[in-house]
Amino acid sequence: MSKPQIFKTPSEMNAWSKAALRDGHAVGLVPTMGALHDGHRSLIERARTENDRIVVSVFVNPTQFGPNEDFHNYPRTFDKDLKVCAATNVDALFAPETKDMYGAHARTWVDVGGLSDTLCGLSRPGHFRGVCTVVAKLFNIVRPDRAYFGRKDAQQLRILQAMTRDLNFGIEIVPCDIVREKDGVALSSRNKHLSPEQRKQARSLSRALEHCRQRVAAGERDAMKLVGEMTEAIQKQPDAEIDYIQMVDADTLKELEKLKGSVLVALAVNIGKTRLIDNMELNV
């Protein structure tokens, strides 16, 4: 186990990556906002099996947070993140400052139309513009062969796949499965903001999804009926406030009335002040 090289500026990171690529090494990138947990670890471990060199970025990106969101309270645990990277044999850790990622006169944005105006995009306007812009910058700085993203952020994954294709980045986007705790709650950096009682209430998200899976397996195809049942189950939690529960086409993200083909069941719920998302894909 050895500590990764730490790079603070885009130019330093780019020079390292260029040298690795010039030497014939395949480079894998795991973009994160830090506060690394076992979900991130699974992305790094997957990348380790498929690449010669691994880069993990740790950058809490201000442009994907709205004015009333938790940018300033988002957990920042760099020393712990460094230990995780060392334990998983990461080669390079890119941890830039905001001023180096967004210059004083930055005015260019990346926006993927048609996929960003539903689900999380409705309640978080501008969020995916910020995500796409920072990921495009990371792609240009690191120039990886592959980039690794979790399926928990299903809409983000679909948007980044479209962006990578449309802008001809030539980078393979590798989707990685959701990592859950023993009680089914999807791992998230935001889980640490939950009180013990709220943490118990968070189980309702994955349980609602599992209920939906069983109902579909039994033959139910009415999306509105299934959404109603999931809504009823989650609303029993005293601190739960539902942002959305939707069943959409997994490719277009268009809402469905009757389930068919590849279906994404996605939900976002505030438990107290903490916003949690979860989802599952079904082949109907």
Q: Based on the residue annotation, tell me whether 40 is a catalytic residue of this protein.
A: yes
How far are the Cα atoms of 50, 250, 267 from residue 25, in angstroms, in the given order? 11, 34, 39
| Residue burial 134-172, b: 16+ Cβ < 10 Å; e: rest | bbbbbbebbbbbbbbbbbbbbbbbbbbbbbbeeeebebe
How far are the Cα atoms of 63, 72, 229, 251 from residue 67, in angstroms, in the given order? 10, 11, 33, 30
Q: Report residue 222 as tokens.
A: 């009415």
Supply the DSSP string of 63-82, one letter for each residue: GGS-TTSSTTTS---HHHHH
The residue ranges of DSSP E strands in the chain, in sequence order, are: 5-7, 27-32, 53-58, 92-94, 146-150, 172-176, 240-249, 262-271, 274-283
d(CA 263, CA 255): 10
Q: Report residue 260 as tokens.
A: 């068919």
Query: Of the listed 25, 37, 40, 127, which one is catalytic?
Result: 40
Positions marked active-site: 40
